[in-house]
Amino acid sequence: MAKKQSFGDKVGKASEKEQKTCIKLVRSTKSKKTKDGIRFSEEILGVPAGENVDSYVNNLLGTSK
């Protein structure tokens, strides 16, 4: 008899291997072309399991509170 496996079961097994919290980091810079322009750049970061999001981003950017 075939084993019943749902899509949720398959996804759950893949996510058990590596649990990461994904966040979007948005940075703003002044535009060099225009006088009052602001440019935004965004990137998706994977924060390792058990790591505090705030401390991870501060370490990544080299800032401290």
- Beta partners for residue 29, in sequence order: 39
Q: Is the pLDDT of residue 2 over 60?
A: yes
What are the extents of the domains in the chain? 19-61
Show Cβ contacts of residue 25 under 8 Å, excluding neighbours closer than 6 positions.
42, 43, 44, 45, 57
Q: Is the pLDDT of residue 42 over 70?
A: yes
Reported as a single tens digit per residue, the pLDDT across 7-37 is 777 776 655 556 778 999 999 999 888 888 9
Whole-angstrom distance, CA of residue 60 vs CA of residue 63? 8
Question: Nearest CA to 25 among 61, 63, 65?
Answer: 61
